[in-house]
Amino acid sequence: MSIGLIALLDDVAALAKAAAASLDDVAAQAVKAGAKAAGVVIDDTAVTPRYATGFSAARELPIIRRIALGSLKNKLIVLLPAALALSLVAPSAITPLLMIGGAYLCYEGVEKIYHALLPDAARAHEATLEPIALDAATFEDQKVAGAIKTDFILSAEIMAIALATVADADLLTQAVVLGTVGLGITLAVYGVVALIVKADDAGLVLARARTPPPAGSVIRFAGRLLVHGTTYLLKALGVLGTAAMIWVGGGIVLHGLEAYGLGGLAHAIHDAAAFAARLLPAAGPVVGWLVEAAGAGLFGIAVGLVAIPTMAYCVSPLWRLARSRLRPAKP
């Protein structure tokens, strides 16, 4: 074998090692970016099942599939190119856009609490908002369109968080990480949602099983438990989703303020978390996380309370005015 061929093989091996290292680095960054967006992912998982309620069992999975495809289009066709363009043209805009998205999550979360505590006042507030008309032929189309619209907002937050995590990487790495995060999170979220939505049907099948005792009794009991438990699970997910909206949104706004030199409150919450962790060293990381989440949640509630009248008296009237200006005059 010639020396030149050996050198060529050495070069190929070196390139292969470099490529493998690069792939490992991309995978690690994708995992890190996905973990950063975990709070929004929890919210997405908790919110989506309600869009499949009220339909026959045969339509539940097709509806979830339609929403999942819409979510993939949101992330990979619309948001990924937009995020890369933003990274190239205006990287300084990432932080304020994240903060706007975080404030919107706070608004959505606090509005749900507002609706639960003061339903009449909440309905009056909703009446002041400009409705977004959906060109849909059926009720199912409307539900799917509403779910995809909500997913777009959550997906935008996920992609923006992921982009902020790899802001210093080259464009190709950013594209691969964002694509990996978008695909992985969508498959995970809607896979879990499908399991949740069909859990009561699976429980019903088990509850009607004709297996003789003693195994049959256990199977039927498990089925009844699953049927009744799914209702409570959906309620618990709704509460968890609302909490996630508020603490994630509040945390995003806090970190954004910190980036602009207004980190006093964020530092105070961090110091309180560190102090609480020192008081209970056996459960230090958990206690510290709970204190930080509670601090971000309280701040998120404050942001949401400001956002509700802002939406009602500023954003919605401006949106209504813009729609009236852009709407073509009737002949």
> What pLDDT tens digit does each residue of the chain (331 aa) get?
444 444 444 444 444 444 344 444 545 555 554 455 555 666 566 666 666 666 666 777 888 888 889 888 988 898 889 888 888 888 888 788 888 888 888 888 888 888 888 777 656 655 555 454 444 457 777 778 877 877 787 788 778 777 777 777 778 888 888 888 888 888 888 888 888 877 877 888 888 888 888 887 888 888 888 888 877 877 787 787 788 888 888 988 998 898 888 989 999 999 998 998 888 888 878 888 889 889 999 999 999 999 888 887 887 778 777 777 766 555 5
Residue whose structure tokens are 């932080």: 95
Measure the CA–CA gap between 287 and 63, rounded to whole angstroms: 39
| pLDDT for position 269 | 92
8: in domain: no
Identify the domain containing residue 311 by its residue range: 22-326
331: in domain: no
14: in domain: no
Q: What is the pTM of this model?
A: 0.69
Residue whose structure tokens are 């205006």: 90
270: in domain: yes
Burial class, 151, CB count within 10 angstroms (exposed 0-12 / middle 13-18 / buried 19+): buried
Number of independent structural domains in the chain: 1
| pLDDT for position 38 | 56
| pLDDT for position 268 | 93
7: in domain: no
**Residue 327 per-residue DSSP state:** S
Q: Contact, 311 vs 107, CB < 8 A?
A: yes
| pLDDT for position 11 | 47
Measure the CA–CA gap between 95 and 53, rounded to whole angstroms: 36
DSSP code string of 124-180: HHHHHSPP-----SSHHHHHHHHHHHHHHHHHHHHHHHHHHHTTTS-HHHHHHHHHH
| pLDDT for position 174 | 81
Report residue 231 as tokens. Answer: 């209702």
- 261 φψ region: left (φ > 0), alpha (ψ -120 to 50), beta (else): left
Q: What are phi and psi of 94, to 5 degrees?
A: -65, -45
**Residue 211 per-residue DSSP state:** P
Measure the CA–CA gap between 45 and 240, rounded to whole angstroms: 10
102: in domain: yes
* Cα-based distances in Å from 178 to 82, 137, 164, 246: 11, 34, 10, 24
| pLDDT for position 45 | 65
Angle, helix 38-47 to helix 3-36, in steps of 10 degrees: 60
301: in domain: yes
Closest alpha carbon to 75 in 158, 170, 132: 158
| pLDDT for position 20 | 41
Q: Contact, 29 vs 166, CB < 8 A?
A: yes
4: in domain: no
